[in-house]
Structure 1
């Protein structure tokens, strides 16, 4: 059983401070003391509720990955392996794995209880990081959708656009997953999405903290953070997760 979930924001080690000055500002969090053998990990601590965002310094350009807190780590590992996942590293309280086609994720034994409130921007606009998008090559898309649905046990729901499906968690977990079929067979990855009451106002606020706009989609704005990390702003209500009428 998945009892809590985390989004790990993986950013280049040599630009860690710039990355998380930005992410702390736009998520209304403060960065914990760094930990790990090389100081590569930290947690973004919210003003209320329980943390669900973490920072990791990495050697390459970075990206994002999910962590799933589970009741029984050994059983969760066996379940993941039976679905085709491969273990990268095992530890006493967590394991790093990869999906059948390479997306990193971890099984952990931490815990959380309460989703933090949305953060207010300078004009009162609300936003919250509420979704992790996994980008998947078309040749392996169906297999990966099957894997993630079986791994999580979450509800699989079609989206309005044919290249997306959603994985909706039970009530009380802090983010959902969006599985996106890429337009070509190339390596995938993952990036966070932020729900906004006013995406234009939130984009302008983020730009003042060093982000830049990359492109506009049907209902979203693709952004780069100050280190080039990709994320999207969406018009979902950050309080309910629903799109406006």
Structure 2
């Protein structure tokens, strides 16, 4: 299996999705009122799809996952470009931190980071911070799912695609207990030959918990990681 999607809850997928597509320079896959999908490709690195799905009540801060953007050497110019696209300044108590906090058009926070050596070859998304209870435990869990490797980043624990390119998964301690469903989660795609029952048995042994829901018969399986952050298994493309 492999990490395939970053899935964002949205009140208006086209509003939020179009903003992020322009912000990141990604490739349109689907553009419908209830779903927008756009592809991030990093040369020599992973391909990730950003999916904006319509929900009736997308949660606002404080998020457990968000995006940290790579400014490409000119943070001020990048911030101005994002403001011109519809982002707004956001004060979450960051004070004089060297990164800039903005909100996307639906009010969800993200950061434009200062230049760091750790962000070399990330592409436009420098990092995806994941907040939880135990960064070491959570990093080990996600390494087992994604095949991503330990990386010497700036967070307590970091993982990166084995190519050494593309975004970094950063694991940090949450400041407050999780409240409600995350508005951003990760999807993993099973590969041909992966047996869902065996995969579920393995990840549950690592601390995952299946989510009981009344959403009907769905082709994906919803779970939570050991810190309660949601993720999904998608069936193999050959299924």
Using structure 2 for the length normalisation, give the TM-score.
Answer: 0.45
Report the structure, 1 or 2, having the larger strand content: 1
Using structure 1 for the length normalisation, give the TM-score.
Answer: 0.44
